[in-house]
Structure 1
Amino acid sequence: MDIDHLRSWIGTMQEDSETLSPTTLRQFNATFDRQSSHAEGAVAPLLIHLCLAQPIAPMSALGRDGHPALGGFMPPVPLPRRMWAGGEFTFLGDIRVGQKVTRRSTVTDVQLKQGRTGALCFVTVEHAVTADGQPVLTERQDIVYRDVAPASAGKAEPPPAPEGTHRRVIEPTSTLLFRYSALTFNGHRIHYDKPFCIETEGYPGLVVHGPMQATMLCQMAADLRGARPATFSFRSLSPIFDDAYFTLNAKDRDGALHLWTARQGGPVAMEATATW
């Protein structure tokens, strides 16, 4: 892997804009079983920006996994699997219905590391999001690329996750995963093509989106405290699939709120911290 070539993508920028319509807000709330005003000027739910101004690639420009082929904005990492490894949001203001939301994205780092199952390539992207020209949030997105691990590369699963002081059970149906993929114009086949997941990627089922888990946890944090957090950081530890229910958990810790997802009876899948 030519890491120097991949690092030449550092500094690459991309900018996209989209007006938040009442229809998009209604679709977002329907997907997450939430209610809020969709009138002009109404405050939008947290992390709805992940559904706005997403890259739009023609079918001829997609890779084998349904994602836009690499080598444009993102570096052409020659590893087949990619996941949202983690990130952080800093909230500066509200997005409102009818506003033009602009996301300015920059590749800020590319690092090659050696993991338990082989090479790992981490790409860091920073996003600056504005609404009608006013800053509303910044986001750091950590994306990891890796090879398909051989079956013998597994290790003993970590112990089951604890239950939070606050807890909610989620059924990750294929319909839920499809709706979120549609909202975010995400063609990644691991979220809706079960034969591809099992036969090509070696997963036991459809993969639950990392951004969707982060959205659920961030909404839970805001609901518990009655206000949007100032920061929300998270990292993915293991995937969860549509073959079992998973839970959202939260508990207070040192003035912040510690949150996590977990498959029922399984280890922590995503952990997060919200601060005010």
Structure 2
Amino acid sequence: MQSDQSPAQRQSDVMDPARANAFRVALGEGAGIGAGDALPPFFHQLYFWSPEPPANLGRDGHPQVGGLIPDMGLPRRMWAAGRLAFHAPLKVGAPAERVTVCENHQRKEGRSGPLGFVTLRHEMHQEGRLCVTEWQDLVYREDPSPHAPKPKAPVARTDESHCEAVSFSSTLLFRYSALTFNGHRIHYDLDYARDVEGYGGLVVHGPLLAQLLLLMAERHLGPLRTFEFRATAPLMHYETAQLCLQDRELWVRGPDGRQCMTARA
């Protein structure tokens, strides 16, 4: 495992209530977040955009690697997992700063070929105090071989105490990509998702699934101090999934019973 020696990336943004309310509306909820309110947990992903000109983008629509994230020669990017520690609420309408470092990166051989692992740590500060720490685990891999068997997804649990059905549309995925300034084409470009990266449809964002699980956990458990999640199989935009909760364990179950994500609050 290697540590990245590049300097920390610092970004400033104002927690604009319009952006948070637009996300709530996209999720089918009413607006109503105003200046001075606590920003809902994980909504910070709507802020701290890093726009790049077209010449600085990779084929997948993400900024090219080689800066904060080292280039390991692997073209496919996936958000594999994340961890969140909530120290204090971010306040809507106030400026905040995010400091990002690459904690480590590693390339190794897996059963399906070479894999690159990257961990980013984000620290969000507001009014002189640390409010949120987030770890983002990314995986990079080669293009899929047309003759390689599809990996078998794990089977999801069925012992939940609470369950909510959730469906997606290409419109929701587009709006979420726009609100988070995520240019990854697997979420809105069907031809690219299917023909280049080998998916059966548009891929539902991992952080969007995590956001829905987190909001579900907060409804049943109250304010959270920590939340962690791991993607285990992709979910397509045309599939209806189930958000499941048992005690402090959560998961996303696909329509065929496969486990798409696990989480703990």
Match of 1:198 in 2: 194
In the aligned structure 2, how far is the partner of 1:119 from the partner of 1:129?
33
Quick one: which of 184, 187, 197 aligns to 2:180? 184
Q: Note the C-alpha offset of 1:246.
A: 1.3
> Do residues 124 (structure 1) and 119 (structure 2) align?
yes
2:48 maps to 1:53: yes
- Indicate the SS of the match to 2:195: helix
Identity %: 38
Asked if 2 retains the 8 angstrom alpha-carbon contact of 1:40 and 1:97, the reply is yes
Note closer, same or farther for the CA distance 1:133–1:35 as it changes in structure 2 (3 Å cut): farther
Provide the residue aligned with 1:90 in structure 2: 85
Q: What is the rounded CA distance, in whole Å, between the counterparts of 1:268 and 1:159 in structure 2?
A: 5
Q: TM-score, normalised by structure 2?
A: 0.94
| Distance apart, 1:18 and its partner CA | 0.8
Offset of residue 158 of structure 1:
4.2
Q: How many Å apart are 1:8 and its aligned residue?
A: 6.8
Match of 1:112 in 2: 107
Q: Mean Cα displacement is larger for which, 34-43 or 122-131?
A: 34-43
Matched-pair contact (CA < 8 Å) for 1:21–1:97 = yes
For 1:133-212, what aligned pairs fall within 5 Å after superposition?
A: 133-154=128-149, 157-158=152-153, 160-163=155-158, 164-212=160-208
User: Which of 237, 259, 265 is equivalent to 1:268?
Assistant: 259
Provide the alpha-carbon RMSD of the alignment: 1.7
Distance 1:157 1:215 in 2: 25
Could you tell me which runs of 5 or more consecutive residues in structure 2 were left unpaired when the two chains were aligned: none
CA contact (8 A) 2:25 2:31 kept: no
For residues 52 and 151 of structure 2, the distance between their equivalents in structure 1, rounded to whole angstroms, comes to 40
Match of 1:32?
A: 27
1:223 matched residue in structure 2: 219
More deviation in 176-185 or 142-151? 142-151
Which residue of 2 is the match for residue 77 of structure 1?
72
Cα shift at 1:113: 2.1
Structure 1 counterpart SS, 2:156: coil
Farther off after superposition, 87-96 or 142-151: 142-151
Report how many residues are paired: 264
> What secondary structure does 1:24 align onto?
helix
In structure 1, give the amino acid aligned to 2:187.
H
User: 5+ residue gaps in structure 1?
Assistant: none
Structure 2 equivalent of residue 213 of structure 1: 209
Answer whether contact 1:90 1:139 (CA < 8 A) is retained. Answer: yes
User: 1:136 is matched by which residue type in structure 2?
Assistant: C
Pairwise CA distance, 1:20: 1.1
Asked if the contact 2:154/2:232 (under 8 Å) is kept, the reply is: no
What is the one-letter code of the residue matched to 1:174?
S
- In structure 2, distance between residues paired with 1:86 and 1:170: 21
The Cα shift of 1:159 comes to: 5.4
